[in-house]
Structure formats: structure tokens, C-alpha cells
Structure 1
Amino acid sequence: MSSDLIAVAGSSHSPMLSSEGRSIWQSRAESDRNGSTELIDVAGRRWAYDDLLAGGAGAEPDVDRWLGEHLRARTAMARLGKDLEALDLDLAVIVGDDQLEMFDASSMPAIALYSGPEVPLEPLEGMPAPLREAFRDLGNDGSVRQGDPDAAVQLVRSLTESGIDITVVGGIGSGRAIGHAYGAIAKQLVPDPSIRIVPVFLNTYYEPNQPTPRRCHELGAALRRAIEALAGNRRVAVIASGGLSHFIVDQELDHLVLAAMENGDHERLQQLATPGLESGTSEIRNWVCAAGAIGDLGFRWSEYVPVVRTAAGTGTGLAFALWSAEARAEPREAAMTSGTPEGERDHG
């Protein structure tokens, strides 16, 4: 019997989602100030922090506001995990991006799929201590999850037949690791060790071979077809990891992406301007890929928490969303709920 794609989800994987909100958020704000993060706006312009600050973005956020946003975001991520748990998944296909954890300049595939029997979520020893501890808390803790080589090979064959040129990664080189885009999703959203994991890598960050939004969407559509042709009667979810805008928060762009996904405006997603999809904002490509896989799945809910952590407007647009087979038959008007918190849309 063939398999069924029963859910598409998206989740940020920011270190600010770790359990220790105060210290990591302050640490990330300091990284923005000292130039450790790439500050690139939606037009593709690179900024020094002081120049961005001189533009008068706003007042310095206080810690109480940070902690409130931290609670909202952690609550949304926990809700998404519970909703996915209720779907009784067999396989999670995680669409994320590598940040020099598996690959480097010697080999940087535009699109790759991991086919190994084990998915080691190793601690990221090359990262600075605050980041390393945050990502260990989120999921890159040295644990090992089951891969699905059989499913991976079938998916690669189907994708290749669909015209998607894809690199197959059968193992992990010495000193390399499955990166934080995958650890956070594995531990926070699909922690059941019986759920097998197939990581899909998009080169969102590094020139010159970043896939275009249109190509990312085409990959998602082909991935859906490949999953539906997958032998073994598996219950499958595609989960986008990362984003949305960072390290300059652009709420207009984030709302555009979420609204286009909710409303099925796939052409708008494919036409996103690539100059603005750089640095952390580049991870929107992972969501565009997931959008291509939605098909007739129904929108369940989304939550958006724009976290501005400095007066210069730097931070991360944290987002969480779910589409599922159970929701596709529900009329949108009947499924809407009232009284949801600001930032949350709920259709089921």
C-alpha cells in the first residue's frame, strides 16, 4: 500500500526557544550589537548595527516583554508537538538548512536528502557556548534517531523522475553533525523515537547556488507526489524548520508568507524576491518548500511572535503553523474560532 501525507507543519528553531529565555535572549541581542549576526533587510541591504540603530527603529525592549514573548512562542511550539503526536506519525520529513554543520565550501549541495539508517543529533561543539547550550536544550543533545533508508531511496527515485536534481547523503563525515535545524524539530515536535526521520537539506544561506523560491516550491510539490507513491503505508508529515525573518525582523514579509500559505497563494510564494531571502531570513525557503507539499490539506492554525530584541529592530519572527488531512473537509468559516490571542489564527 502507498503512504499518506497527513500533515504539513512549520516551526522556527531559534535558540530563543530554549527553556532558558532570559539569558539566551540577552546573549542574542548582544550578538546583534557586536556584528556576530548578519543584518540584511528585505531589500538585500547589509547594515552595521549602529547604522541600523541610527534609523530610529524604536525603544529598547524590556526583559518582561521578552519573557512574555518567550512563553507565547514556547506554548505554540508545545501545541504543535501535541497536535503532531495526535496524528500517529510513522515518518517525519524535515526540510531544513545546513549552516556548515554537515557541509562546507568544499561541497555545498543546493538540495540534498539524508538516507542514513541513523540520524545523530550531535552537540554542536563548534558553536559559542550560549548557542551550543541553547541548541542542546532544544534537541542537538547527542541523541540518535532512526532514519529510514528505504523511504529515503524511494523518495530520491521519485524526485529524480520528477526532474528534481538531488544529492544523496548516506552518512556523516568525521567532525560533522546533523545540524540544529533538525535537532529542534526532532526533540520538540516529534520526540517519539519510533517516528523515523528523513532530513532534507536546502542551501538557503550560501551563495551562489541557493535554490529560488520557485524551485523550493517545485521541490515541495514533487515531495508530496513522492510521499504519496511511497510504499509501506506510512503516515507522513513534512515539517519546515526555521525562519521567519531574522536578524532584522520584517513583520510585513512574515505576514505575507503566512497569509499566502494559509490562502493557497502559491504563485505569490514562488515570486518572493531573492535579495531579501538572505541571512536568517533565507530560511523562508524551507517554508515555501513545505507550502508546495500542502495540496488539499486543510489549514489548522498558526501563531506568529515577532521578537524584537534590540532598539535597532533586530530579532526573529517566530512562527508555527499546521495543515492536516482532518482539517481539509472543514468549511473555513465554521472552523474559525473567536478570542484567539493576538498573532494566532485558528481554523480547527
Structure 2
Amino acid sequence: MSDIVVGAGASHSTLMNTHWDQVVHTDRAERFRDALGQARDAVAAARPDVAIIIGSNHFRGFWLDMIPPFTLGVGEVLGAGEAKTPSGPQRTEPEFARALAEHLIDRGTEVAISARLQIDHGQTHAIQYLLADLPIPVVPLVINVFAAPLPRLDRCAELGRNVADAVRALGGDRRVAVLASGGLSHQLPWPADWRDPRGDDEEFLVEAWLNGRGDWQRYDKRRREIITAAQPVLFPEFDEQFLADLESGQLARYTEYSSAELEKLAGNGGQELRTWLTMAAALGFAPGRRLAYSPMPEWLTGMGVGLIEPVGVS
């Protein structure tokens, strides 16, 4: 029987790759970076055969012409390569991914599938740091966290539970890591609602989200300028509580929030915490370990790393 042997969650930010020389809170940045290394070592120690990476996509692999709530990469997986993140074909295991998709649908989670999926830093950041130098194939599971209407948080937890059931139902004896990329609190300078953009920047972003398929690089320079010009908005008290709830095994309580309530507490970037909830649900909401928390205004994000190691799995 296959089984999940480790779960990890980590924030992502391409500014970590491109703006390290502008960091003021160096101790915080180094604490986060070192925690990524600790998480990577814990993943390596668990000896997984495959890693399911639950993450978002920042309109470089999905666009408003087609954006499902949940999508599983079941074939070729390509890194977009923006901001010094991994680019090109990634190591995959299509047979496992396709079987996983079938089992998920049998359990009532109708995931979309992609036989050629382009992922961006919403997942390649995890490949770059949590799987650094590890020859582990990946199965991307993309959750829509940006284009309203978003999937309910309780449905994300259900997805996680069904991932666990599906892994156990698969034949063989694969050891599976489940990694979550995103969060913690942050506020992106994006439209509150893509259906109602306000001002030139928001209208440009919606245009990029709608028309970027096959041509996202054309929009990337100005997109990057809009992001780097943003004023940081963090919610450290929320982040501290979220990580405390990870440690006590209480993350399931966040499934009671609506999207609007979560945004009020953690900013629009806090919608990415769906990835952590899905991962934690796949681990049975077992108590975890907080490895680091670093509020990083320079990276516009509350940067956290957490780990869940299931009891009884050797």
C-alpha cells in the first residue's frame, strides 16, 4: 500500500530570488531560508518516491479563458522560469498522477487534468527549495486562489482527505510527500475582483490574465513593476496564530471561513492558505512543527515554513 510519509508547507516569493540584496531584515530572511533547508532535509529523510505539490498559479499557466478550481498535472510539466525559478520540463510520474486523478474522481473530487501543464513560482519555488537536489518526480495540484469565485475552504480540505484516501488505494508501495506552497498573509496589488478592474494597472492585469496564454512574457515586465512598487501589507498576528494552529493540529477550523473572511484576516494573498489546508487535511490534520516565521515587508509576504510528520510511518 502506498502512503503519505511527510507533509510540508512553505511560503513563496520570487523577490527572494531577485531582491536579496535589498533585504533590510537580514536575520529574518536567513531564518526563513534556513528553515527551507530544514524542511528539505526532512523531506529527504522521509525517502519519498514522488511529491504532490499543491500550489497556486499566478496567470502563467492558467488564464481567465479557462481556470478550473482544481487541476492535476498528469503528463508533461513545464516550469515557466520567471524570476530565476526552475524552467522547462520537470521530473514527473504520469502513471501515478493519472491513477491519482481517477481515484480522486471516484471519491467525489472532480479535478481537471492537464497533460501539458505550465507551472510558475506557485509550485516551482517548492521544487527549487523543498526538493533541492532531490531526484523526486512531482505531481502538481493547482488550486485557483486568484480568480473569483474561489473554491470553498472546506472543499479544499475534502480534496486533501481524498488525496490521502487515493494514495492509500493505489497499488504498490510508493512513499508520497505532500508539499504546500503559498501564504502566509500578504496583499497583492491586484484587482479585488477581475470582473471590475479599477484604474490603468488593474485593467492591464486583467488584460494579461485574459490574453496571456502563449504570450505571458509580453506582459511580465509591467506586471513585475506593479508588484515591486506595491506597499507591503502583512498580518503577523494572524500568521503567528495560523502556525500555532498547525502545531496543535487545529488547522481544520479555518475551513469555516469564507473567502471574504479569510481575505479580511490575511489579505488577498492569504487565499493561498488553501494549499496548506489541503496538505494538512491529507495528513489528517495531525499536529505539526513550525520551522520558521519571518514577516518580510521586503518580499511583501509573511514567510512561514511548517512540517507535518505522520506518526507510525517509518
Q: For the structure 1 residues 75 and 267, does the alpha-carbon distance in structure 2 shift closer, same or farther, using more than 3 Å as the test?
A: closer
DSSP 3-state at the match of 2:292: strand
Asked if structure 2 preserves the Cα contact closer than 8 Å seen for 1:154 and 1:230, the reply is yes
Instruction: Work out whether 1:218 is the aligned partner of 2:158.
Output: yes
Asked if structure 2 preserves the Cα contact closer than 8 Å seen for 1:266 and 1:291, the reply is yes
What is the distance in 2 between the residues matched to 1:307 and 1:191? 23
Matches within 5 A, 1:292-303: 292-295=281-284, 299-303=288-292
Corresponding residue of 1:194: 135
RMSD: 2.1
Instruction: Work out whether 1:106 is the aligned partner of 2:91.
Output: no
Corresponding residue of 1:146: 91
TM-score (norm 1): 0.71
What is the distance in 2 between the residues matched to 1:226 and 1:192? 28
Corresponding residue of 2:186: 246
DSSP 3-state at the match of 1:106: coil
What is the distance in 1 between the residues matched to 2:257 and 2:285? 22
Asked if structure 1 preserves the Cα contact closer than 8 Å seen for 2:126 and 2:181, the reply is yes
Matches within 5 A, 1:10-25: 10-18=9-17, 21-23=20-22, 25=23
DSSP 3-state at the match of 1:214: helix
Q: Which of 245, 252, 275 is the equivalent residue of 1:286?
A: 275
Asked if structure 2 preserves the Cα contact closer than 8 Å seen for 1:7 and 1:324, the reply is yes
Corresponding residue of 1:308: 297
Opposite residue 221 of structure 1, the aligned amino acid is: R
Instruction: Work out whether 1:204 is the aligned partner of 2:148.
Output: no
Opposite residue 300 of structure 2, the aligned amino acid is: G
- How far off its partner does 1:252 sit? 2.4
Asked if structure 2 preserves the Cα contact closer than 8 Å seen for 1:16 and 1:70, the reply is no
Q: Report the structure number with the largest CA radius of gyration.
A: 1
What is the distance in 2 between the residues matched to 1:274 and 1:241? 18
Q: Deviations 1:9-45 (Å, cap 9, x if unpaired)?
A: 101111243275123x5xxxxxxxxxxxxxxxxxxxx
Opposite residue 204 of structure 1, the aligned amino acid is: V
What is the distance in 2 between the residues matched to 1:298 and 1:233? 25
Opposite residue 94 of structure 1, the aligned amino acid is: I
Matches within 5 A, 1:310-329: 315-325=300-310, 328=311
What is the distance in 1 between the residues matched to 2:57 and 2:18? 23
Aligned positions, number: 264
- Percent identical pairs in the alignment equals 30
Instruction: Name the structure where helix makes up a greater proportion of residues.
Output: 2
Q: Deviations 1:194-222 (Å, cap 9, x if unpaired)?
A: 311000010011112x1111111111111
Corresponding residue of 1:35: none
Q: Which of 29, 39, 42 is the equivalent residue of 1:83?
A: 42
What is the distance in 1 between the residues matched to 2:54 and 2:98? 16
- How far off its partner does 1:288 sit? 1.1
The 4+ residue runs of structure 1 with deviation greater than 4 A are none
Of 265-274 and 229-238, deviating more is 265-274
- How far off its partner does 1:192 sit? 4.0
